[in-house]
């Protein structure tokens, strides 16, 4: 699967990205790109599971992994595209889940996407 084959979802113009009454200092923060359902990945400590549900969190996890195979590469590219509003968070979720499976970090790997 390449990113080029990911289906783009049209977003309505003027889509609301959060509360309009944000404090000015927090208004400079980049938007969070949520996806659902979360992807459960194993943490550094035995028995710890992280429920990843944003593009930003997926990006952080990907940077910590060591195998960095083809699925990892696709997930990183999907994250970068989503952060540039050129891919959807759901596309990132799908690619991240496959990368987690490739890395051996997906918890409950037998469960369907």
- pLDDT of res. 30: 65
- pLDDT of res. 46: 85
Q: How confident is the model at residue 83 (pLDDT cuts 50, 70, 90)?
A: very high
- What are the angstrom distances between the C-alpha of 14 and each of 11, 17, 18, 22? 9, 9, 12, 17
Residues 87-109 have pLDDT tens digits of: 999 999 999 999 999 999 999 86
Which residues are CB-neighbours of 94 under 8 A, at least 6 positions away?
6, 113
**Averaged pLDDT, 65-80:** 97
As beta bridge partners, residue 50 has 41
CB 93 within 8 A of CB 55: no
Identify the residue whose tokens are 């195998």: 67
CB 42 within 8 A of CB 63: no
- pLDDT of res. 84: 94
Residues 21-62 have pLDDT tens digits of: 444 444 555 668 999 999 999 998 888 999 999 999 999 999
Ordered by start, the domain boundaries in the chain are 53-107
């Amino acid at each position: 699967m390449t990113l080029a084959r990911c289906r783009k979802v049209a977003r309505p113009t003027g889509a609301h990205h959060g509360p309009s009454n944000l404090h000015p200092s927090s208004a400079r923060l980049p938007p969070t790109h949520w996806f659902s359902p979360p992807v459960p990945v194993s943490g550094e400590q035995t028995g710890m599971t992280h429920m990843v549900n944003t593009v930003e969190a997926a990006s952080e996890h990907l940077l910590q992994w060591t195998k960095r195979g083809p699925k990892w590469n696709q997930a990183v590219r999907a994250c970068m595209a989503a952060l540039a509003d050129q891919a959807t968070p759901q596309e990132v979720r799908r690619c991240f889940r496959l990368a987690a499976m490739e890395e051996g970090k997906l918890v409950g790997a037998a469960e369907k996407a």
